[in-house]
Structure 1
Amino acid sequence: MRQIIYLIIAITTLSCTNQEKKLPDNFDFGKTENGSYKNEYFDMEISFDPNWIVQDKQQMNNIIEMGSELTTGEDKNLKAIVKASQVNTAYLLAVFKHEVGSAVEFNPSFMVVAENINNFPGIKNGSDYLFHAKKLLEQSQMSYYFEKEVYEKTIGKSTFYIMEAKLDHMNKTVIQHYISTVTKGFSLSFIVSFATDNGKNELYEIIEKIKI
């Protein structure tokens, strides 16, 4: 199930100490309906092909758990970091082009993740956040490499930063773009995973239409 193996959820990067989960009273996990995801807290709307497969809460939890196990392996310290940081993380949306487990070479995916960073005042923007994300990926059991520096992209009215990560496995190069900004005390990140230019183009069609 390559599409799960490469959907690395370990962008929760910031703490190895246990913290009580604290979300604002008005925090919104958002609603998904007919190819549209809306979130009032982040004043965000994401449109996508309604034929793509939205993961429900249980499916998302299963993917998160599997992704965490695959990235941390037997590294107990890394397991502790990922487990602790998940306390402050909200997984808002995960969509795949095909049903998980479909007989396809690779299944492009789009995720939205928000992490509470109120305890980390040094993180001023998405570039700062991605610095920590890169460090965690470099510690993971997957051999990621990075050919480009982090760069800016305007999405809607917001400035995001993009980190491009690559992974070679089983004679296939898989690419993930981590696209992050800082807003309302959270890092807000879009994670896209693809293996072909066509997959990339389909995912960036989603990104270009995001209203935020």
Structure 2
Amino acid sequence: MDGTSHFVIGLAAGAFAGFQASHDPVAISVCTAIGGISGLAPDLDTNGLASNRITVSKKVAQAIMQLIGISVFLLITYRFLTDGLSTSLLVYGAIGLVLLIVSRLITQRRILTLTGILVMLLGFVLHQSIGILLAGSYIIIASFLPHRSYTHSLLGAAFYGFILVQFHNQWPMEGMVAAGLAGYASHLVADMKILPMNRRGVKWFAPIWKREF
């Protein structure tokens, strides 16, 4: 099933969960959005449909890192000519060199990893938000997983549910957790082999039992 279908089904699941929790239009709208996003979350794994949607292309990422790396070297050259050598210049030079090296080695899959790292950094900036930190860790872990593995299981759903609880603790809203879990679960159900459009199924009980359903 394609990403658009998962998103639409997730929206419907989130809207239903939001309506069950509250009749406030704002809360229902937020829950609908959460359901749609959660309906795409399992495909953040390797080669998943959503993983390529939230990341920039490899060429764009390479160009950005090379531009920053070159800019750093130009800056430290200017500072060296005006103020002389210092420890901070050596540190900045090392950062610029690392960026240039990484830009040559990075793959599309690792761009997703970098996206997770940036999300975690955002969590630190926003007063060490546990929910955002865990969301970043989810993206990082998913970037190393084969498609339709642990993100498409009850284990992945439980971890995602824990993230939702942390978001709810920081930004309470009725129906948030239920809408997110409904959207996530809708993805797993829509990927099951019982549906004729799916050649592969979902390993609900991985890693304990790897049978596809």
Q: TM-score range by the shorter chain?
A: under 0.3
TM-score (norm 2): 0.25
- Give the number of the structure whose residues are more often helix, by fraction: 2
TM-score (norm 1): 0.25
- Give the number of the structure whose residues are more often strand, by fraction: 1
Higher relative contact order (CA closer than 8 Å, sequence separation 6+): 2
